[in-house]
Amino acid sequence: MLSGSQSRWIVIFVAACALVFLIYVGRADTRSPRADEDTRARVSPVFTPAHRSVLDAVRDFFNRRPVPVQPLAFTHKVHLANGMHCTDCHTAVEAAPVAGIPGVELCMTCHQMIAADKPEIKKLAAYQKRGEDIPWQRVYAFSPTVHVKFNHAPHIRAGVECKTCHGDMTQQTVAVRAVDLNMGYCVNCHRQKQASTDCITCHY
């Protein structure tokens, strides 16, 4: 039988171990998406578990994701303040499942002349000159294990504003994951708007 002080020390020890583990998971969260792709390329084509490791499973369970590092410090706040709209750059959002991320040619349509002397625009022009597209990193995505097929078009047709899922972009510079798009969030929104909550609406 453990004494009260022994039980207390065991609880403290377990809590400390859990804290160290979560800190480790948080630090691992900063790895680049490209590193994830490199690791995926080494996974066996024969045995394909849901996650590459126990750590990946834990990270997925706690919704810990790599922090995307963008190649350019694109500022949404400035573009939207100058009269632009989300659909000016995310051109497929009204008609397709994926909103689309602007390529270098679309950006340079404006920036051949506008702010061409700014350091970030010079980086943009260098991508165009090299014939490379901008390697934007995804900010929002669902874990493959949840089998969610999100389609932007019907949400736009239903009048769902971009900020509902992406946060207020007029206050963001480089995009961040401002809304936790978990199942509870999506189901609550569907109920409020009297949209279907059948499993196959999103999981198919």
User: At 148, phi and psi to the nearest 5?
Assistant: -95, 135
| Mean per-residue pLDDT pooled into runs of 10, the chain (204 residues) | 66 67 53 50 56 79 82 95 94 90 94 94 96 93 85 93 95 92 94 94 90
- DSSP state string for 54-121: HHHHHHHHTT--PPP--SS---HHHHHHTT--HHHHSTTTTTSSS-----HHHHHHHHTTTTTTSHHH
Instruction: Indicate yes or no: pTM above 0.75.
Output: no
pLDDT of 62 reads: 79
pLDDT of 17 reads: 64
- Residues near 106 by beta carbon (within 8 Å), at least 6 away in sequence: 89, 91
pLDDT of 30 reads: 47
pLDDT of 44 reads: 53
User: At 173, phi and psi to the nearest 5?
Assistant: -95, -100
CA 153/CA 156 separation, integer angstroms: 5
